[in-house]
Amino acid sequence: MKKILILILTKILAFLFFKLKKSSDLPGIIALKLDPNIISYFRMPQNTIFVSGTNIKSAVANNISQIYQNEAYNVGENAYSSNHSLGILTCLIKNSNILGKIKPSILILKVDALALEDTLTKLTPNYLIVTNLSREQSMITGHFEETFSKIKNNLKETTHLILNADDPLVSRLSLHHKGDVTYFGIENNFDNKNISLNYDDNLDFLYCPICDTKLIYEKRFYNNIGHYYCVKNHYTRPKPKYPVSIVNEEMFYINNHTIHIDEPFLYHVYNLAVTYTLLKTQAILSDDKINHQIDQLKEITVAKYQYQNKKLFFPPTKTTNPVSYYHILEYISKQNEPITLVIGYQKLSNEYIENDVSWLWDVKFELINNNDIKNIICLEKYAYDIAVRLKYANFNTDRITIVKNPNQLMKNFDEYTSNNVYFLTCDSLTQKFKKEGKVIA
């Protein structure tokens, strides 16, 4: 009876926040305080999908959810709560009846890699997607090997793993899992060129997990993502179930189906590859429906705005994540036009201790040290930390400007910037600058 009363109270709160379109974990916080074991009360649907990893989990979860909703399935997801334990609990409260039964037939939860350990001890998904694992802000995520161990030690045999074959740290989960495993991956990048290993590359995984021999990379797309093998044949990249072949910067093939993309970002390709692989593995939809729905997905591409006589560009990037930055910087480096880059953060995290900027040294700013980058404006609290990192990337200090106050930047925008301005900023700053401009269709 106690659990029923807790659910009634917290469901009312969850309903109000949903109607107000406010993101809050308060229902989960209250439920957990009233009953620390409340999560064990819930009964999950047969199609429960967890999506985890360092990057692209939100995009993948949104893709899957959008497709099933388009096909008239009742889908539950943690879109209005966080991807941590309390947000997941809030989602379960919102999508259950007072007896704890999850009402949607398909439940899709994006789960932060750090929260996955705690979540897997209490809930067992039918499918677990792991997109990639890499370093971020060390005070938030710790070491990626620790994250790997937490996932590995809490896997259940009944969970079907959907793993990135191109990430040796992720595919290594299969060595410790007795249940089903399906892989996704790509066969080539956009320019069909292999990225060579350099002495200054900070790879997250480079040695065979069985014999500790240095892995050989036949192909390397970015970071430690690519095609790899152990010379002693102990460990090699597994074969994806539906391998992706990229034709050019506008299209790729998967399972003989052509998919078009709007922007040449490899993570878009991975998003669609894992979405396709999950849908095929579940076999709920027909092939024709899967192909049709994949074609209808709208990508999160570079947002374009006009301000005065300037064009403003807002690439989708994840603050404090070097891998996310790699994709964006590579994209910017190929634009072949005069560019001003604005980099700044008011807060590095809404949930954790701030002030750790060590991740800046894993961002490959050297990618954009070319003549097209006319100047870089360093904003807000960490402006000098950013400027020091750029100096060590061999940027001439004449091209680096410190502007602590964003209002000052907007007041003297014409003086500070070229005609094309790219923003790599935290959410609050991004929203501030977007309000100043007008969307370009």
DSSP secondary-structure letter at 40? G
Q: How far apart are CA 111 and CA 121, in angstroms?
A: 13
Q: Can you give the pLDDT at residue 199? A: 46
Q: How far apart are CA 83 and CA 78, in angstroms?
A: 7
What pLDDT, in 10s, does the model give residues 243-264?
Answer: 999 999 889 999 999 999 888 8
Q: How far apart are CA 76 and CA 67, in angstroms?
A: 13
Share of the chain above pLDDT 90, in %: 51
Q: Can you give the pLDDT at residue 375? A: 94
Largest CA distance in the chain: 69
Fill in the amino acid letter for 345. Y
The SS3 call for residue 150 is helix
What pLDDT, in 10s, does the model give residues 284-326?
Answer: 999 999 999 999 887 767 899 999 889 999 998 776 778 888 8
Sequence-ordered alpha helix ranges (H) in 205-333: 266-282, 287-296, 322-333
Are the beta carbons of 67 and 279 closer than 8 angstroms?
A: yes
10 C-beta neighbours (distance < 10 Å), count: 24
DSSP secondary-structure letter at 239? P
What pLDDT, in 10s, does the model give residues 384-404?
Answer: 999 999 999 999 999 999 998
Return the closest-CA partner of residue 88 out of 54, 56, 125: 125
> End-to-end distance of the chain based on CA atoms, in angstroms?
54
Are the beta carbons of 389 and 308 closer than 8 angstroms?
A: no
414 C-beta neighbours (distance < 10 Å), count: 10
| Token reading at 67 | 């497709």
- List domains and CATH numbers for the chain: 2-296 (3.40.1190.10), 303-439 (3.90.190.20)
Q: What is the mean pLDDT of residues 68-84?
A: 88
For residue 136, give Cα distances in angstroms to 33, 54, 124, 337, 342. 31, 8, 27, 30, 21
Q: Is the pLDDT of residue 110 over 50?
A: yes
Q: Can you give the pLDDT at residue 193? A: 72
Per-residue pLDDT band for 21 (boundaries 50, 70, 90) equals: low
The SS3 call for residue 403 is strand
For residue 109, give Cα distances in angstroms to 85, 87, 112, 181. 11, 10, 10, 19
346 C-beta neighbours (distance < 10 Å), count: 16
Which value, to the nearest 10 degrees, does the dihedral of the CA atoms of residues 46, 50, 56, 59 take? 40
Q: Can you give the pLDDT at residue 87? A: 87
| Token reading at 63 | 């893709």
CA 367 to chain centroid, in Å, comes to 21
Return the closest-CA partner of residue 125 out of 156, 81, 96: 156
The highest-confidence range among 117-131, 145-159, 352-366, by mean pLDDT, is 117-131
363 C-beta neighbours (distance < 10 Å), count: 24
Per-residue pLDDT band for 139 (boundaries 50, 70, 90) equals: low
Say which residues have a Cβ less than 8 Å from residue 340's Cβ, sequence separation at least 6: 374, 375, 376, 377, 416, 417, 418, 420, 421, 422
Q: What is the mean pLDDT of residues 159-164?
A: 97
